A = this chain, B = another copy of it.
Amino acid sequence: MKILILGGGGMVGQKLASKIAAEGLKGKSVNELILHDLVQSRTPEIMTGGQDNAKIKTLTGNITDQSEAERIASLRADLIFHLAAVVSADAERNFDKGWDVNARGSWNLLDALKKEIRESAGEYRPRLIFSSSIAVFGPPFPEKIGDEFHCSPQTSYGSQKAVTEQLISDYSRKKIIDGISIRLPTVCVRPGKPNLAASSFFSGIIREPLNGKEAILPVSTSVRHWYASPRSAVGFLLHAALLDTSKLQGRRSITMPGVSCTVGEQIEALRAIAGEKAVNKIRHEPDELIASIVKSWPRNFNPARALNLGFSAEQDFEEIIRTYIEDDLPKN
């Protein structure tokens, strides 16, 4: 089996690659694992220790170029994880770039696959897993967003994800690809450094104190949001890769499970795990702009369909913090 990860250089792409390299794909032998990104991907650390000795390749290129999309399609990967995207804040600031990469790039890829598949005369039909996002939803929200709530995003990023979902759904219905779009919660706790994303603080207020550093909280503790750990995100992608798609009955976009909690509850979870000293590292510095952006984000879901299909996430925010400590907290 040949696996291709688009956006393989990103945080989730790297964790996914490590997991596949270490453990294979649940009984399926992986011969080749290809990481594709705009810039050279790091080769994940654990690359030879697992049950599979997959050959690892890295490629660079931009899917907004049709010729690059065609090169990717010509690899004839059996399984494609499409994680490549311009992030939310960037897509909002740079309208043309966001639409070009997140929507036109995805469409290029699908059209290149269509061409490859037609040339294969029915022999080639890849499974494609697309990392969509809860950003496809826009306010006003019900208390819990159900599986049949409409996609009326109020960001360019969410609109681009919603468009790609529609393309994947119809290209799958017509048996060109066999696709699934999984709508990821906010991935938290993100390892690494704080960044300029409006959502950065959701991870920062946990990660920074655990690393003995100060963190800024720009919103009220009553703000509620929807989270899953990076480990869960990788789990969703792998579960989707092996799912029997006939169970989807044509509805190929699935809202992933997660943990709904307030910032106050996040802080209490941090206190329970790391004590008062950690909590004292959080400094409340209200930022009206961030508060207004965050107000338009989903707060809670009833992801019944995903749970029925066997997707699972953490049970509470303490478990999310423990996952970070186990997977990503630098050991002294």
Name the interface size band of chain A. 20 to 34
Give per-residue flags for A223-256: 1 if the beta carbon is below 8 A from chain B beta carbons, else 0: 0000000000000000000000000001101000
Stretch of A61-69, A151-159, A263-271 contacting B (4+ beta carbons < 8 Å):
A151-159
Copies in the complex: 2
CB distance B169 to A152 under 8 Å? yes
CB distance B170 to A166 under 8 Å? no
Query: Is A109 part of the contact surface with B, judged by Cβ < 8 Å?
Result: no
CB distance B174 to A167 under 8 Å? no
CB distance B150 to A151 under 8 Å? yes
CB distance B159 to A167 under 8 Å? yes
Distance, CA A253 to CA B166, complexed state (A): 16
CB distance B251 to A152 under 8 Å? yes
Query: Is A5 part of the contact surface with B, judged by Cβ < 8 Å?
Result: no
For A166, what are the chain B residues with a Cβ–Cβ distance below 8 Å? 151, 153, 159, 162-163, 166
CB distance B95 to A152 under 8 Å? no
For A173, what are the chain B residues with a Cβ–Cβ distance below 8 Å? 154, 156
A180 CB to closest chain B CB, in angstroms? 13
Hey, which bits of chain A sit against chain B, CB under 8 A?
95, 99, 138, 142, 147-154, 156, 159-160, 162-163, 166-167, 169-170, 173-174, 250-251, 253
Other than A142-B148, A156-B174, give 14 A-B pairs with Cβ distance below 8 A: A95-B174, A138-B250, A150-B150, A152-B251, A153-B169, A153-B170, A154-B173, A154-B250, A156-B170, A159-B166, A163-B163, A163-B166, A163-B167, A166-B166
